[in-house]
Structure 1
Amino acid sequence: MVLPNNIFAEDAMQAATLVNPQATSSVLLVCEHASNFIPADYAMLGLPEDAKQSHIAWDPGALELSCHLADLLDARLVHSNISRLIYDCNRPPKALDAMPASSEGRVIPGNENIDDNERARRIAWFYDPFKTLLADTIASMPDKPILVTIHSFTPIYNGQARDVEFGILHDSDSRLADLMLEHASTHTKLNVMRNKPYGPQDGVTHTLKQHGVNNGCLNVMLEISNVLLSSDSKQKEIASMIAALLSDALGKLDKNEVAA
C-alpha cells in the first residue's frame, strides 16, 4: 500500500503531540495508546466501526486521564495520535505486535499480510515521529524527567474477569513503582497490583526501557481499568488519586536518587 505524502492533511493530524510544553514539573507523562484514529487510506483495516471503538484500537479514557494529570501536576504530556492497530508506539519496530495481525482473538485483516515496505512506511510515519518527539522533549527539560506512562485496560480479557483495578508496572528499575505500591493504600481502596494485568514478560515496557531506564530516569507505567474512566468525573477522580499518590511517592525519594 503506497500512502500519499499528505496522509494527515485531510484530518489536520500529526503522528504525535506535545501538550503543556511550558510545564514546570519534572514529571513527563506519556500516553502511547491515546487515539483510535485510522487514516482513511487504510480503509479501517477491514474492520467494522465497533472495533475502532473497542479496546483493541486504543486505551479508552487514557488520554483524558493523562490531560487531567498534566493539569494537576503542571506536567508535559506526549501522546500518539494513531491507533495501535496501525502502529503500537509502546512496541519496538521488530515486535510482531507493533502492527498486530490479531488482537484479543480478533483478526485484523489489513495487518495480515504486511510486507517489508509497508512495515518500514508505518515505522517512518507513525513510530519515528512519536519516538523523536518524546526523546526531544526529554532532552529539552531542565531536570532529568520522571517518566510516567498512562494506560487503561479492559476488565474482561478473553472472557476472563481481571481482579486488578489499578496496575503499577515497572521493568528493571522499580524504585518509583516500589514506593507507589507501598503507599497506594493511603490514597485508594482500589485493588492495586504490581505488574498486572501485564508485565515486562508481555513486552509492554518498551517506552519505559527506551526512554526511562536507558536514560537513567525514574519511571513507572500505570494501568487503570477502563470502567473507572467512563466519564469525565471518574477520570478527574482517578487523576486526583494518582497525582496525590505520585507526589507522595516522589516526596519519599532522596533528591540525589531523583537526579541519579
Structure 2
Amino acid sequence: MSEPFHIIPSTSDVPLFLFGDHASRHIPERYGDLGLTGEDLTRHIAWDIGTEALIRGLCARFGCGGIVAGFSRLLIDPNRSKRMDSLIPKDSDGTVIPGNQDVDAEVRQERIDTLYAPYHQALSKQLSAQNSPLTISVHSFTPKPHMGERRRLDMGLLVKHDKASAERFKLLLNQLAREYSVGINEPYSAMDLNHTVDLHIAPRALPHLAIEIRQDHIDTEAGVARFVKLIGDALKSML
C-alpha cells in the first residue's frame, strides 16, 4: 500500500516547517484512477502542480522539516472538513469523477481511515515536535480554470489568523520582485477554505503563512528554482 504522507526530515534547527495538502496526484491502483483518463489525471483538479518540488526545495535550502500528502485530492481532500460535501468531490472544474458518484458510508470511511486521517495525524505529530516554527502551507492555482476566467495574479496569501506575518511577507516579496503581483485572500479566501490551518495551526497559535502560487510559475524545474530563491530570500528576512 502506498504511503498517505511523506515526511521531509529536518537537518538543522531553523524554526521553519512546510506542508502541502495537495502536493500529490497519486491514486493507488485499487481505486482504478476513479474512472478518469488523460489530462484529468494530471491537471490541477488532481493536485497542486509544482508544490511538492517547491516544498522540497525550500526544505533543502533551510534544512527544515516538512510533510506532503501522498494522495490525490480527487480521492479525498485533506483541506476539507469531514462535514463538507466536497470532502470527496463528485465533480471538479467541469469534470465528472465517475469513481466518486456512488460513494457509500463504508467507502467514505475507508478513505478517511487509510488516507485522510493518517496524513492529519502525521502533520499534527510533526507540528508538536517542532520548536515554535514559522509554519507554511503551500498551494498552487491554475492560471485558467475550465469553468472560470483567466487569473492574472501571480501569488496569493490566504489570511485568517495571522495577518501580521502575511503583511510582512508581502512587503518583502514586493521589495524583492516588483514584477509579481501578490494578493491577499486571492484567488481564494481563507475565510472560506482554511481547514488544515484552522485544525492544526490556529489552536497552536503558530505564526504562519498560507501561500498560493500560480501554477505556470512552478511547473518546470527552472520555475521551481526561481521561486525557491524568491520565497526563500523573503523567508530568510523573516526568520
Corresponding position of 2:133: 145
How many angstroms apart in 2 are the aligned matches of 1:49 and 1:211? 35
Corresponding position of 1:57: 46
Count of matched residue positions in the alignment of Structure 1 and Structure 2 = 237
Q: 1:201 to 1:104 in 2, by over 3 A?
A: farther
Normalised to the residue count of structure 1, the TM-score between the two structures is: 0.87
How many angstroms apart in 2 are the aligned matches of 1:20 and 1:183? 27
Corresponding position of 2:229: 240
- Shift in Å, 1:159: 4.0
Corresponding position of 1:170: 159
Letter in 2 for 1:144: S
Q: Is the 8 A contact 2:173 2:230 kept in 1?
A: no
How many angstroms apart in 1 are the aligned matches of 2:6 and 2:125? 12
- Range moving further from structure 2, 79-88 or 111-120: 111-120
- Shift in Å, 1:150: 0.8
Q: Is the 8 A contact 1:167 1:195 kept in 2?
A: yes
How many angstroms apart in 1 are the aligned matches of 2:12 and 2:6? 15
How many angstroms apart in 2 are the aligned matches of 1:201 and 1:105? 24
Q: Is the 8 A contact 2:23 2:69 kept in 1?
A: yes
- Shift in Å, 1:201: 3.7
Corresponding position of 2:115: 126
Letter in 1 for 2:29: A
How many angstroms apart in 2 are the aligned matches of 1:241 and 1:110? 39
Q: Is the 8 A contact 1:147 1:208 kept in 2?
A: no
Q: Secondary structure at the match of 2:171?
A: helix
Percent of pairs with identical residues: 27
Counterparts of residues 186-197 of structure 1 (less than 5 Å): 186-188=175-177, 189-197=179-187
- Shift in Å, 1:82: 0.2
Structure 2 residue 97 is matched with structure 1 residue 108: yes
Letter in 1 for 2:220: S
Q: 1:23 to 1:120 in 2, by over 3 A?
A: farther
Corresponding position of 2:202: 213
Residue by residue over 1:108-166, the C-alpha shift from the partner in whole angstroms, topping out at 9 and shown as x without a partner, is: 1111121111111111110111111111111112x112210111110012241112111
Normalised to the residue count of structure 2, the TM-score between the two structures is: 0.95
Structure 2, unmatched stretches of 5+, are none
Match of 2:170 among 169, 181, 186: 181
Match of 1:40 among 22, 29, 37: 29
Corresponding position of 1:4: none
- Shift in Å, 1:233: 1.4
Q: Secondary structure at the match of 2:136?
A: strand
Structure 2 residue 77 is matched with structure 1 residue 88: yes
Letter in 1 for 2:51: A
Q: Which has the higher contact order (CA 8 A, sep 6+)?
A: 2
Match of 2:189 among 187, 194, 199: 199
Q: Is the 8 A contact 1:169 1:195 kept in 2?
A: yes
Letter in 2 for 1:209: D
- Range moving further from structure 2, 58-67 or 154-163: 154-163
